[in-house]
Amino acid sequence: MSDTIFITTFAKEHIDLYGKRFIDSFNKYNSHLPLHVYAEDFDKTDLSNHYKLYDFNKTIPLHKTFLEHIRMLQIGLLTKPKNRLEKALRWSYKSFTIIHALENSSCKYVVWIDADVETVGHLAKNSTSKINHENLCTVYPQYIDGELHIESGLIIFNLHHPSIINIINHYKKGYHNYQVLDLDKPWDGFWLGKYCKTSKDPINYVSPPFSNVRGIFKHHVGKDKFRNTDHNKFSGRKI
């Protein structure tokens, strides 16, 4: 039995964009590892491979409150500040999924993995432990405009570390209490970076991003994945 679960979330309209590739490639190489998909608006009939499905909206009803708060704040705004909030909403699905998984999983490691990541190689069952050792988490640090940003395409969380509750509470402050919206760039990576910057907990920093899993996972980053589509580059939703 694996001591690790992988988690992700994406919407139905992203299935053809990258969701199907994510599911198919993960199962091609790593069907021995548990994969939990928080489906925002689709059911398992849309994808027929090995994974555990959660209905995002039913499992995490509190996200609707966050979404409605963003929509209220956007009323009457010009394009730039409106898009700033749209980015906060886009990456909030990830953070709410992480909160739920960290609070409800019984394994040792929870690994967040973006759905735009393609699996290109085999990951052994004990690889997570070897990568993370006994650290609280493994993250990819970057600096954007002088601020610590965590490139969050893949994050390893150690649920057996006594400080895991601190990360959970930090995420909740950001997304249940809307404190992430106080940031100049209200992205999940900056919010996690805010925790890492002040934390005295043992954190495994790996740079550059994905360098420790090269040959296993390939991250298709940025707006290029929306090129030649009718998806909004800020929300990832159809225009």
Boundaries of every domain in the chain:
4-226
Average pLDDT, whole number, for the chain?
Answer: 92
Question: Which among 166, 159, 203, 218 has a CA at the least distance from the CA of 5?
Answer: 159
DSSP 238: B
Whether the Cβ atoms of residue 143 and residue 149 lie closer than 8 Å to each other: yes
Q: How far apart are CA 176 and CA 152, in angstroms?
A: 20
Q: How far is CA 154 from CA 59, 131, 157, 216, in A?
A: 22, 12, 10, 12
| Torsion angle (degrees, nearest 10) of CA 128, 210, 187, 161 | 20
Report pLDDT digits (tens) over 119-164. 999 998 789 999 999 999 999 999 999 999 999 999 999 999 999 9
Q: Are 232 and 86 in contact (CB under 8 A)?
A: yes
Q: CATH top-level class for 4-226?
A: alpha beta
Neighbours of 74 (CB within 10 A): 15
pLDDT given for residue 238 in this prediction: 45
User: Considering the entire predicted model, what is its pTM?
Assistant: 0.93
Q: What is the mean pLDDT of residues 164-169?
A: 98
